[in-house]
Chain A
Amino acid sequence: GAGVSQSPRYKVAKRGQDVALRCDPISGHVSLFWYQQALGQGPEFLTYFQNEAQLDKSGLPSDRFFAERPEGSVSTLKIQRTQQEDSAVYLCASSRNDRGLSNEKLFFGSGTQLSVL
């Protein structure tokens, strides 16, 4: 596609509900990242994929957070038993390069705004 696409654009969940957020990266992009952005803050790293391999998940805040990219393209971020502190914008980004140390720019999606009531 022309850019990184995320869905849904907005998600309202009741506390305790499970949610799934989808990211369609730019076609052919090898690297995919998830970031969490709380209101008024900069994005915080969650996890990184190179193709289907999850190479870094050290930013996931708890075991309620799970991400996958089974075929090396679309990725899903799942949050189980959502809590109010999970409310944030979840941003997905991709880049073409498959090397770990890269000077390539990241392309970000518009994000999914999650509100947990």
Chain B
Amino acid sequence: KQEVTQIPAALSVPEGENLVLNCSFTDSAIYNLQWFRQDPGKGLTSLLLIQSSQREQTSGRLNASLDKSSGRSTLYIAASQPGDSATYLCAVRPRETSGSRLTFGEGTQLTVNP
């Protein structure tokens, strides 16, 4: 059974810092990996999607990397802003099923202090 772990569970940084969020998964047979953002009382917003054949994806100040063989992904946030405060979730889609279920980590709660 696929298990997804995110470290740290919570992170508090001053505005302007660069930071890295970590995600690891136990089964490397994945189809893709996504990073989501969740604001309190809100649904999830997809930030970046990395296909299994890719190594990284970038969007603005966000960069996500994928090392499938070692079962790891990182989300790098440059020049953090208070508006980046949210919970960040990573999720993997398995290769062996024909469905589209995602397995999520428990998330990293990020606070960026002004």
Taking Cβ atoms with an 8 Å cutoff, the residues of A that contact B are: 4, 31, 33, 40-45, 48, 55-56, 59, 91, 93, 95, 100-103, 105-111, 113
Contacts and interface: CB of A to CB of B under 8 A. Distances in A.
A106 B46 contact: yes
A31 B102 CA distance: 13
B49 A43 contact: no
Contact of B104 (A31, A43, A107): A43
B: contact size bracket: 20 to 34
Nearest to A38: B106
Nearest to B91: A42
A33 to B, nearest CB: 7
B76 interface: no
A42 B32 contact: no
Contact of A45 (B4, B51, B95, B102): B102
A42 B46 contact: no
25 contacts: A31-B100, A33-B100, A33-B101, A42-B91, A42-B104, A42-B106, A43-B89, A43-B102, A43-B104, A45-B103, A55-B98, A55-B99, A56-B97, A56-B101, A91-B43, A101-B31, A102-B100, A103-B32, A106-B46, A106-B102, A108-B43, A108-B45, A110-B41, A110-B43, A111-B43
